[in-house]
Structure 1
Amino acid sequence: MQSTQAAPRSAANHNFAPWLGVIFLIYLLLVAVGMIGAGFKWASGGAEGARQLFAFATNPLMGLVVGAMATALVQSSSTVTSVIVGLVAGGLPVPTAIPMIMGANLGTTVTNTLVSMGHVGKRKEFRRAFSAATVHDFFNLMAVAIFLPLEIMTGYLSKTSEYLANLLVGGSSVSIKGLDFIKPLTQPVLDVFRDLYAGLPGITGGVMLALTGLAFIFLSIVFLGKLLKRLMVGRAKAILHKAIGRGPITGIFSGTLMTIAVQSSSTTTSLIVPLAGNGLFKLKEIYPFTLGANIGTTITALLAATAVSGSHAFFALQIALVHLIFNISAVILIYGIPQLRKIPLRTARRFAQIASRRKWIVLAYVAGVFFIIPGLLIAITA
């Protein structure tokens, strides 16, 4: 009898252990964002120093390029947006950070494009997979082409996010009062690392603190994604099969939920690409699901914003809300207007037809759009 009772207990403990890992990694993410903000502020000498340090990115195009290239390199928009929240907490102005957030949306699409190359040996499969991957690219390019000029001309994203942040926390002069419990939890660890680097000369301590935070963000998101993928992907796949064929609203909603569950839009869209390649779903069905992934990935920046306290807590929340508003607005506008909705579909189909005949175009596209052109722009501007 005792051995019979022990087995269920052992299984329960085994099932609970991964969730403890999830809790720890979320805590590590919150600590890491605090480290980047504190380290950036320390190294740059406060808000004014931060503005000077990021003077090269005050050009919106350069901010866009920096966000896109950083995300393409680390293969995670969640990592980059969390870092941007930390930088805003350290004094980076919100208007400078907005194009970077948009760039992160562009950079994240490289992952599913690379996944589609797994079908390169079979022409029809590759055409279907590549069109499913690049429809995400072309939608995000359209979103930036519409909303970056709109933001420059009207301040739509900055004003809307400021209004919503005011509703949530009551003004830029206060911290996020309802989330003040985060600071007491993360501050002891932050103080340990601050003391560890306190003896380093000049700005080195601040740089090391920020780099440590960056490393912790990368580690926490990579392992969090793996843990959640193991815990949730089986269920997520079942949801995916049930939801995709039920219409665009359900597709967007299920894409959002699945991305929140696995904490990675790259995982969500990469799961769908092979299914498209094998002909299980049509491009028209997959399209809204990938848009839901764009919305779901914004949860990480919102979570990161809860780690920020003090005078820049409001602005950290604001930039996280920019990410959310940008993606929701793009879905409503582009997918909501039939003439605009068709452009990414048609472009992806046509590009996939060309790429299936000339495979070198795929490598040129990935290397040129995500790495070479951004790198050249940064080199020219620097």
Structure 2
Amino acid sequence: MNMMSDNLQKVAGEKMKNILSLLTKNPILGVLAGALTTAVLQSSSATTVMAIGFVSARLMGLPQAISIILGANIGTTITAQIIAFKITDYILAFVFIGFLVSFIAKTERVKSVGLSILGFGLLFLGIETMGDSMKPLATSPVFIDMISQVVDVPILGVAVGTIMTVIVQSSSATIAVLQNLAATAGPDGVTSVIGLTGAIPVLLGDNIGTTITALLASIGQSRNAKRVAVSHSLFNISGCLIFIWFIPAFAAFIQAISPAGPEVEVISRQIANAHTSFNVAMTLLWLPFIWLMVKIVMRIIPEKRAGSKVVSDPAEPMYLDDRLMSQPVVALQMVAQEIERCGETIRVSLHDISAALRDRDSKRIDEAARKAEAAGELCQKVTDYLAEIFAAGALNEDQAAHTMKLMRGLNDVERVAALCGHIVKSCKGVKYSEAAIDEAQKAMAIAEEMFAGAMKALASGDSSDAKRVFAASASLVEAETTARKAHMKRIAAKECSPAMTAVFNRLLYDIGRVGTSCMNIADLVKADKDVLDYFMIDPELTQESASQA
């Protein structure tokens, strides 16, 4: 299943981003996006973990995330529906074709298609193997007695399904096992060993068990992220509490809409239809009441008491999440947000250094130095995160190529953070003349403007922003040259000490190097306008969702 899911993501590539871009204030589109994403990933848990990551990163509001959860529960039923089609006679053909395509493929995309087919074949080969192993159990009196207890006591079936899924961490896998078990004939050789009324409680338990993954993923995340996980649990638990009272009627309904025939031959399809019907019914039930679910989870996990204050460490990632590395589209979206945050910290540091130099404020210049150092550490952590994504092998060729370019731009962002530290060293404890401070400030203002423009160009991919950075570089060179000439005139006029020449030139040199790094970033955008914008899902949506979160 992992092989199939990972390679499907590589094949989907940026289409996954287009699916996620459907996340708007319209909950119906949110349900659709959740269903489509889960159908691709073949795992509602993976989609839920994505939603938790987005909410934790403040890219999505809680109502949007809940609509994604509703859709994910529908999307995950696709696996059971596929399993219900009897393809056992063609399993080895899928395995052979998948291997052959992946073996002879010359491009990564075709290779990923082959591995997806191979994973699909191996998945069903495994299910067939489990089914063959279960057939002898049908004649075991001990096993039959255990199954009869589950059939007679629905709550026991729910417990069994929940425990199975908590252990396996995949409701798709446990439902596949349930389908295969149910398709095993009992002692009479005609009826199912468990029957539809016995399978439905286990199915309800499987749905509850799959929420454990989301709850575990929410540990250490924001309160809103925890609320997303709780809403996933609330959806499935509420459904179980409703449907468990109507199992005979629900089973009769499923039998009516499913193909007729001997029970052991049609029960797999009946279980798949029951899974789909349950999730569609609960989605239709909750969809108009998303606001109510928001209130419930807000009551379960309330806001912190007034007066409590959380201070974000600028050196620590706010968005990166190791658990999202297997979903590169989402992980790279988090990287893009982190780089923007890092760039803003550096821009503020440049501004504060200039202001502190003017006011001769040593405390403020020290604080600006700490911010720049923290931003440099954050850049390094982002670089390490990208390296781990590469190592995980989750990127397709297109994503990998854009990520390499992004790392190149990130190196220049980190270099500007380091140059801020160098500039601070040239400012601390040095008594510059007022004229020298004015000249350095002019150069610093241009460098700050260039860096802000370079980061804007990187985020937007707008070549006009990059052109403005190049245009400002001429002004920075002129400001440096003017400052050096004016300094030498002051020395000749005995207004400045010759001993100040080296440190002042070093200050101007480092400011100039900031401009050079900004030009490198702008040049990267000029060569490929989608460097950072490639990873962003929807900037306008991001801002709107952040305000709601």
Report the TM-score, using the length of structure 1 for normalisation. 0.47
Question: Which has the bigger relative contact order, CA under 8 A and spacing at least 6?
Answer: 1
Flag the structure with higher helix content. Answer: 1
Report the TM-score, using the length of structure 2 for normalisation. 0.33
